[in-house]
Amino acid sequence: MTSDRFSTVNVRSPADLLALVPYLLRFHPAAPSTVIIAVTGTHLLVGAHIDAAEVDTRDALTHVAGIAARDGATGVFIIGYGTPDQVTPAVDLAETVFAAHGLPVLDALRVTDGRFCSYHGDERPDTPLDPTNPTATWAVVAGHTAAPNRAALLAQLAPVKGAARDAMRDATERAATRLTSLVHANPTTTEPRPDAVLGAGSDAIEAAIATHHHRQRLSDDDAAWLIALLTYLPVRDLALQKTFQDTSLIGLWTDLTRRADPLLSAAPATLLGFAAWRNGDGTRAAIALQRALTADPGYHLAELLDQTLRLGVSPSAANHLLD
């Protein structure tokens, strides 16, 4: 995960850093896992979460170390979540990997059952985590959120179910009929009308953005219509340009990703991934892009953004992505 949005917060102690971590990740880490925070000077460079139950820890650490070294990191913090038996081997491995990349470990911390200690702090005793830490308060006031765990964050992006899904299924069928009528000049010809589709897409995007800015939700028919139009790549690209210009559209694309028929979710999920990455929310971006690639494994823009994310490219690079 990369983030350009936390460079102004003051972190003066290990307790401050631990209070900030959930807001960098957008969820509270669970055991057993390792968090790496790479810095350059006094600025956050890269934050990465490694779930020991899901990935090879050594490979993941090597990948993060390579990104941090490439981007000019001057040091790293290692934070292990779990029991001493779980954390100590992971910390020792991380110290070895980062030393091999010429990156000094500024501190190595263990968090166990609401308390923390430092492996670099000699005899420092376990210290209780403080939920009222000013750094956490700052993050909340600044509008950052942290789900209770990664599963809860996944649930925030999951497809809608029940009556909401039934309603969207009906709306999607109506949108498909409407799009078929728009694409062809008349029912007796196969001559496409791309200008008409792009025009309708532009109108639908503008209307959706206006609705979003008024803190309202698209109707099922309007949502299904925009989702259908986004299957046309020029419309998707127009939405991408709008998202590049307006970093507030995460909520809109989240809603459409959840409401879209799973087979039609590649475009809105990719737009969500782009918006989240632009906002420094690499965790949400990664989840969204996996949704897109599950819907369409060959969806080129999602593949490009997913690779960009895996390479640890800074969100500021979006300024060049659309040149």
pLDDT tens-place string over residues 105-137: 999 999 999 999 999 875 466 888 888 888 888
pLDDT tens-place string over residues 264-288: 999 999 999 999 998 888 889 999 9
- Residue 131 is which amino acid? P
**According to the model, what pLDDT value does residue 12 have?**
84
Architecture of the structural domain at 14-148 = 3-Layer(aba) Sandwich (3.40)
Burial of 174: CB neighbours in 10 Å, binned 0-12, 13-18, 19+: middle
**According to the model, what pLDDT value does residue 4 have?**
45
CB 284 within 8 A of CB 153: yes
Could you write out the DSSP letters of every residue in 195-251? HHHHHHHHHHHHHHHHHHHTT----HHHHHHHHHHTTSHHHHHHHHHHHHH-TTTHH
Six token digits for residue 158: 């999951």
Burial of 62: CB neighbours in 10 Å, binned 0-12, 13-18, 19+: middle
- Between the alpha carbon of residue 247 and those of residues 76, 182, 231, 296, 315, the distances in Å are 29, 31, 22, 25, 12
* CATH 1.25.40 residue window(s) in the chain: 157-321
Low-confidence ranges of the chain (pLDDT < 50): 1-5, 7, 123
> Which string of b and e fits 304-314 if b means at least 16 CB within 10 Å?
ebbebbeebbb
Output the average pLDDT for the chain: 89
* CATH 3.40.140 residue window(s) in the chain: 14-148
**According to the model, what pLDDT value does residue 107 have?**
94
pTM of the full structure: 0.84
CB 187 within 8 A of CB 180: no
Evaluate whether the domain defined by 157-321 bears CATH number 1.10.3470. no
List helix spans (H) across 38-129. 57-70, 84-100
**According to the model, what pLDDT value does residue 125 have?**
67
**According to the model, what pLDDT value does residue 7 have?**
47
